[in-house]
Structure 1
Amino acid sequence: MNKLLNRLVLGSALCGFASLANAAVLEVQAEIKPDPLNPGSAEIINNTPASGFCTEYPNTCNTRKIRSDSFNISFQSSGSIPVGQVIPFGIPATWRTFTVAHSSIPGATADIQIRIAGVGTRYRLSKTAQEIIGHPGGETDFGYHAILWAPSWAQAIPPCQSVNGTGQGAWGNGTDFSAFWLTPENVTTCPRYSRDYEIPGMSLQRLDVHYELRAVRPEQLISGNYEGSYTYSIGSDFDMGGLTASDPSMTFNLNLAVKQDVNVKMSADSVALAPKGGWMEWITHGRRPEKILGDLRFFILTSSPFKMDLSCSQPGVGTCLINNGTHEVPVDISVSLPSPWVDDADQPVARRPLKIGGAGLEHLKPAGLPTRQPSLLHFEVQQDSVATMHDDSSYRGTVNITFDSDI
């Protein structure tokens, strides 16, 4: 729970006082924690355990600061692959937008974008690469595979970018090869074709992807979990040419944990309550004031929604009390927030009562870009209570104002 608790001391004297079925699915666990001072730049952190290429070659991926997640989708050739046949390896590298919904707040949604920033696979030949090219000697396992393709699966045709290290990717069984390429936004395919030899048969054992996620308006996210899905089509979004896929689609199920912090700066930690115009009327004319009051400025240094609550060292009926040791009176507390802050009904917040339990202030949000103008807490002891207060006496009490982004 992301709370900011402000403790205020009030004082006065009468003389001065916040998955889809039948499709390959990846469960994505991610989190985002916007900086209250720069919330629009927040990045989504992917906590999903890596799989596929980057678990086989972790140093290669760590050096490039990438990750891979493997979908259990296979692709099978229907027969032999003749010389010159192209496997297009079509890739959806541009940003796509989908909607996620808050798991506990009905109607609270957000737009998330996803793109495929890297792609790879582990292919398997029906015969060893050495057998296909006629058993010549003198080559490494990597070299035999490289002879079959233009370019080698370890290489990438620009604008795709290579990830495999030199000589990296070939498995010792002679049939398997792992490859991965990065895909900038202008990529549509990372093609390769059989060069000089007919390949009697092959399959892609899986589909590995490096994907990027970003929130469209991270500053508007509410603390808690958001859930949503995005599905890519196999055959149109991912095009493997004549290879037959085991699944028609692949789905990302996103669970996004939002951890917003409320950043509030109070102008002081105490408030002196006094009559409007000061104490001179009482001092010089003996006129008891109609009410005593005081305001405290504070600044909301965040743009995330939050709620407010009140607790007291001396609780009364819904509000706090101040006392002189033998006598106590209630203090009415209210809050005013500057535009564009509004409540859950999109109404301005002006002298809104702040009660123990926070009723009416459970969801405060910006309707636009916050201006960093000051907010106000208002404290008032009403006339009927002032009339009972003891002369030549000081009244004190402590209130706690909580700003909580976990709404």
Structure 2
Amino acid sequence: MLTNSNTTYTPGYLAGWYLAGLLGLAAALPAQAVDTTVSAEFKPSVLNPGNNKFINTTPCTTHPVFCGLQGDEQPTLLPIEVRNRLLIKDDSVRNRLFHRFPGQRTVNLVHAGSGANFDVLFKFAAIGAIYHGPASLNDVINYNFHIPENSGAQCSNGQRLAWGSAGSISSGYTWAITDSSQSSGGECNSIPLRNDEHDPNYLIRSLMMGYKLLTPNPLTLPNGEYTGQVSFSVGAGQELDLGDGDYSDSVLNINFVLTVEHDFQLDFPPGSDRAVLQPPNGWNDYLHKGVTPARLYRNQPFNVHSSGPFKVHVNCQYSNGSRCMLRNNADNHEVPLQVALTLPPGIQNSSGSTVSRELLPISSAAASSYHSVQAVFGKRAQLHFDVLQTDVEQMLSRAGSTYQGNVTVVFDAAL
């Protein structure tokens, strides 16, 4: 009888955008921490079996320009604002468009049920802001306000976005952070202001940050929800610094929620609960020539759908402690039964090898471990049941009797 029970680091990355939204907090409010959540999921797809990356699922609730970004980039609100932000024509870079950002951080994510955990690497990949004030950034800097000074050193315009027009009171931009500065952190600023014939007092309504999240290969991770948090200090002279002004918050907590939803299903044809063992070429050579069959066997095909790790072992009605046995109903004589497994390409064993006629252990404690290197959908696999020739000779000496035994093959996929 065959049963199916419900039931490891290849780097990938997730990229996205954060937008800090206006909360309307008065500058006199005390500094405090603010939380935001980034979510992502991995779900295998028959249309894209080679996918091994988390997909950003953080809702986009902000500026339509950024909601329309393609690929892995997607915005979300990050509630921080800076009031009384001065833009002045002088030699201080802090009185221009200015950003200081931290280097990469390791974040530990923990499985909600088992406590299993893994590390991800979080990096700022882009940074920007939406300014609200008496004049457009086009007016006070120029139409290239979105290009940082010394572009390419720590920040560059890259493929990022900017908007604003003459006379507009709302202007926005993002700067791409260079690869080296994503790891180390850094500072970027705009070119100097071209005029100071305006009220210098601005409000930063939104802070925009692109990110990369380097993760293990989700194909190696058990199903479930993984959570973690990283914190950054916010304000003048802090890890996240947008220049001098009155900050609504002093700490930013980014909460991560990553969900893994593997697919696992076994499809057996009708009649698979009974396996009659036969010689490879039938009984003709034995009956007419007296030739002992090299083995008695049955190969049981089935289809497997899998995208994550799982374990397999067998339970035996009769066993000798290490192998299943078949028992003669007449005198209780027993012979060993080998139970082996072949799995399709895309699934490997714990040694990283393909799985072909791999013998299965008979206890859950010694279960064989397998993992997907690529999601497989409806691919052919086989169970192999064999009695070897030396044991077949003993069985034939008891001609006319029946050997039988129940074997349960347990697939444990931790779903």
From 160, 176, 184, give the equivalent of 2:157: 160
Partners of 2:82 and 2:246 within 8 A in 1: yes
Partner of 1:149: 141
Shift, 1:361, TM fit: 6.5
Letter in 2 for 1:195: R
Contact 2:96–2:190, Cα closer than 8 Å, also in 1:
yes
- 1:335 and 1:167, CA in 2 relative to 1: closer, same or farther beyond 3 A? farther
- Flag the 1:116–1:320 CA change in 2: closer, same or farther, 3 A: farther
- Is the Cα contact below 8 Å between 1:115 and 1:211 reproduced in 2? yes
Displacement of 1:292 in angstroms is 5.0
Distance 1:180 1:386, change over 3 A: farther
Q: What secondary structure, in the 3-state scheme, does the structure 2 residue paired with 1:206 have? A: strand
Q: Specify whether residues 276 and 286 from structure 1 end up closer, same or farther in structure 2 by C-alpha distance, changes over 3 A only.
A: same
- Aligned positions of 1:303-322 closer than 5 A: 304-308=308-312
Q: Distance in 2 between matches of 1:330 and 1:245?
A: 78
Q: Does 1:224 align with 2:224?
A: yes
3-state SS of 1:70 partner? coil
Distance 2:59 2:341 in 1: 46
Contact 2:122 2:212 in 1 (8 A): yes
Residue equivalent to 1:256: 258
The alpha carbon displacement at 1:217 in A equals: 3.4
User: Structure 1 pair 316/72, CA: closer, same or farther in 2 (3 Å)?
Assistant: same
Between 1 and 2, higher relative CO (CA 8 Å, sep ≥ 6) is seen in 1
Q: Does residue 194 of structure 2 align to residue 195 of structure 1?
A: yes
Does structure 1 residue 104 correspond to structure 2 residue 104? no
Counterparts of 1:166 and 1:72 in 2: how far apart (Å)?
22
Q: Matches of residues 202-221 of structure 1 in structure 2 within 5 Å?
A: 202-221=202-221
Distance 1:194 1:223, change over 3 A: same
Q: Structure 2: 5+ residue runs without aligned partners?
A: 8-30, 182-186, 328-333, 352-356, 375-379
Q: Distance in 2 between matches of 1:406 and 1:168?
A: 59
Counterpart residue type for residue 211 of structure 1: Y
* Paired residues of 2:309 and 2:369 also in contact (CA < 8 A): yes
The 2-side partners of 1:70 and 1:169 are apart by 26
What SS class does the counterpart of residue 100 from structure 1 fall into? strand
Cα deviation, 1:337-384, whole Å, max 9, x if unaligned, reads 8997349xxxxx9744458xxx34767246x989xxx99845367989
Match of 1:43, SS state, is coil
* Contact 1:76/1:203 (<8 A) preserved: yes
Whole-angstrom distance in 1 between the partners of 2:414 and 2:48:
19
Q: Which residue identity lines up with residue 125 of structure 2 in the other structure?
A: A
State how far apart, in whole Å, the 2-side matches of 1:120 and 1:169 are: 21
Report the RMSD for the aligned CA atoms in angstroms: 5.6
**Bigger shift: residues 377-386 or 190-199:** 377-386
Contact 2:96 2:193 in 1 (8 A): yes
Deviation of 1:256 (Å): 0.9
Distance 1:296 1:380 in 2: 11
- The percent of aligned pairs where both chains have the same amino acid is 22
Q: Could you state the TM-score of these two structures normalised by the residue count of structure 1?
A: 0.60
Distance 2:282 2:166 in 1: 82
Aligned residue identity for 1:149:
I
- TM-score with structure 2 length normalisation? 0.59
Counterpart code for 2:172: A
1:1-400 pair list within 5 angstroms: 22-33=32-43, 42-51=52-61, 55-56=62-63, 58-59=64-65, 61-62=67-68, 64-65=70-71, 66-77=73-84, 81-84=87-90, 85-92=95-102, 96-106=105-115, 108-125=116-133, 128-129=134-135, 144-149=136-141, 155-157=146-148, 158=151, 159-161=156-158, 162-165=160-163, 167=165, 170=168, 174=169, 177-186=170-179, 188-191=187-190, 193-197=192-196, 199-234=199-234, 235-261=237-263, 273-274=277-278, 283=287, 292-294=296-298, 304-308=308-312, 334-335=339-340, 341-342=349-350, 351-353=359-361, 359-360=364-365, 364-365=369-370, 377-379=383-385, 391=400
**Aligned partner of 1:255: which letter?**
V
Question: Greater shift after overlay, 192-201 or 29-38?
Answer: 29-38
SS in structure 1 of the partner of residue 100 of structure 2: coil
